[in-house]
Amino acid sequence: MSQMTATARPLRVPRRGPAPTPLRVIPARITRTGNGTFVAICIGLLIGGLIALLLLNTALAQGSLALGDLNRESARLGDTAGNLQEEIDRASATGALARSAAEIGMVRMNARGYIDLAKGTVTGQAEPATTNNAFPIVTSPTPPVVTAKVKKLLSSATTASNAASSADVARQSENAKADKQKADQGKADKVKNDKAGNDKAKAGQASSGQDATPTVPGATNETSGTPTLGTTD
C-alpha cells in the first residue's frame, strides 16, 4: 500500500482594493458662478480693439488727405516749372537775345581780332563797332504783311464756308418741302381713288337692286307673255 504524502502549500493573502472614497453631500444648485473677471477682460479687449480700429481708420484718412494735398502741390509746382521753362526758352531764343542786345546799345562788330595771351600779340585788324553796322531784328515770328494776308484768306474761307452751309440748309429745306408736297399729293390721290371706288360700289349696288325681282317664299318665276283674255294656247 502506497504511502500518501501531503505537501505543504503556502496560504494566499487576499488582495486589498483601493480604499473607498468617503461620500459627501452635493448641493442642489451652484449659487456662485464666479466674480466676473473673465467677462470684464473680454469686454475690455473688445473695447480696446474697437478703439484701435477707429484710430487706425482716422490715421489712414489723414494720410489720404495729406497725400491728396501733396499731389495737388506737386501738380501746381509742375505747372510753374513748365511756365518758367517756357519763359527761359523764349528769353534764350535768337530774336530775344538780339533784341536785348539792341536795347542795351550793342551793335555788330566790323572785323574780328584775336588776342594771343601767351605771346601778348593781337592778330587781325580790330575796328571799333559803330551803329552803321546795325541790322534789323525781327521780333515777330511772321511779318505783318504775311499775317494780314493770312487773316484775309481765313476770313474769305470762313465766308465761303458759311455761304456753303447756308446753301446746304436751303437745299435741305427745299427738299423737305418737295417731299411734303409729294406726300400730300399722294394722300389726296389716295382719297380720290377711295372715293371713286366707293361711288362705283354704291352705283353697282343700286343697279343690282333695280334689276332684282322681289320673290316670295314658295313662289316660282314665270315669264309673262302677251296678256290674253279668254284664250288658250
Q: How many CB atoms within 10 Å of residue 79?
A: 10
CB-based contacts of 143, cutoff 8 Å, min separation 6:
none
Predicted confidence (pLDDT) per residue in 174-217, tens digit: 888 888 888 888 888 888 888 887 777 777 777 765 554 444 44
Angle at 201 between CA 196 and CA 207, to 5 degrees: 125
Cell of 189: 390721290
DSSP assignment letter at 36? S
Q: Measured between alpha carbons, how far is residue 53 from residues 49, 50, 85, 161, 229 in Å? A: 6, 5, 47, 67, 132
The predicted structure's pLDDT at residue 209: 58
Closest CA to 140 of 88, 82, 98: 98
| Residues 102, 134 contacting (CB under 8 angstroms) | yes
Report the C-alpha gap between 98 and 135 in whole angstroms: 10
Give the position of cell 447756308.
166
Predicted confidence (pLDDT) per residue in 26-74, tens digit: 766 656 666 778 889 999 999 999 999 999 999 999 999 999 999 999 9
The predicted structure's pLDDT at residue 140: 54
Cell of 166: 447756308
Give the position of cell 495729406.
66
Confidence check: pLDDT of 226 > 50:
no
DSSP assignment letter at 105? T
Cell of 59: 490715421
Instruction: Show me where the domains of the chain are located.
Output: 140-207
Closest CA to 211 of 203, 199, 222: 203
3-state secondary structure of 202: helix
pLDDT band at 219 (very low <50, low <70, confident <90, very high): very low
Q: Measured between alpha carbons, how far is residue 29 from residues 5, 23, 26, 38 in Å? A: 69, 18, 9, 22
Model confidence, pTM: 0.31
The predicted structure's pLDDT at residue 28: 63
Predicted confidence (pLDDT) per residue in 67-118, tens digit: 999 999 999 999 999 999 999 998 888 888 888 887 887 777 777 778 888 8
Numbers of helices and strands, H then E, in the chain: 3, 2
Mean of the per-residue pLDDT values of the chain: 75
